[in-house]
Amino acid sequence: MSNDVNETLALLMNHRSIRAYKDTPVSQGQLASIVAAGQMASTSSNVQAYSVIAVTDPELKSKLAKLAGNQVYIEQCPVFLVWCADLYRLKKTSEPYLGDTSFEDSTENFIVATVDTTLAAQNAAVAAESLGLGIVYIGGIRNQIAEVSELLGLPELVYPLFGMCIGYPEQEPGLRPRLPMKAVLHMNGYSKEQSVEEAKAYDATTKQYLLERTNGQNDATWSQMMAKRLAEPTRMHMKDFLDSKGFMQQ
């Protein structure tokens, strides 16, 4: 890593997923600043194809926690954000100016909405951490995505991409080691050999990390964990759900 480290880089390099929160509330001012920072993320053609639902109601958080696989920290965090890829707004506001043909349901626009949402959410995550808050992304809201969508009243061309718990940390987990930079950074073209060999070297790092984290109970390597992930069908309902919401029709 470069020696050119500033306050922003230090913050980014210290990211940890937080799964335990204090009772201290997140203020409306903090929430507004976090979402405003998200809105300043890059967006394709200024489409801004996302919406975010801030869930603070305890009963609603409890229902979402169960739908997401009984992840109790959704209930414990002061604010749970549901980040949604949103082409509904684009379609409805454009309709008066459209002719007979439009492509809001194209695969490209699905990608645009998904990327826009992710960029905004990551900006918001960094903003939250800059305020002394912690976050964790919750992909589990896609476990029962139709039920989540119904619960939140999501219309056509809107889907919940992931959730995000926000609150003051009640824990200080260690940093999880990442792949070697050479596994992900390629100069002037993709190197297949470099990508694979550097990832294999990462196995020793992850094995040692897990041994220390679990007091010797787990020594799985990254490759073994990824093989297990690939061998298990995960959220195979997503294609049918997205089709039912009107995405990727063209």
Identify the band that residue 4 occupies on the pLDDT scale cut at 50, 70 and 90: confident
pTM for the full predicted model:
0.94
Query: 213 pLDDT band (50/70/90 cuts)?
Result: confident
Structure confidence by residue, pLDDT tens digits, 60-104: 999 999 999 999 999 999 999 999 999 999 999 999 999 889 999
Tens of pLDDT, residue by residue over 178-203, are 999 999 999 999 999 999 999 999 99
Express each pLDDT in 20-70 by its tens digit.
Answer: 999 999 999 999 999 999 999 999 999 999 999 999 999 999 999 999 999
- Of all residues in the chain, what percent carry a pLDDT higher than 90? 94
Where are the domain boundaries for CATH 3.40.109.10 in the chain?
A: 7-174+236-244
User: What is the distance between the alpha carbons of residues 125 and 117, in angstroms, rounded to a whole number?
Assistant: 12
| pLDDT for the residue numbered 1 | 54
Cα(54)–Cα(243) distance, integer angstroms? 26
* Predicted confidence band of residue 2 (pLDDT cuts 50, 70, 90): low
- Look at residue 247 and tell me whether its pLDDT is greater than 60: yes
**Buried-exposed string 44-62: b where 16+ CB fall within 10 A, e elsewhere:** eeeebbbbbbbbeeeeebe
Q: Where residue 146 falls among pLDDT bands split at 50, 70, 90?
A: very high
Q: Does domain 7-174+236-244 have CATH number 3.40.109.10?
A: yes
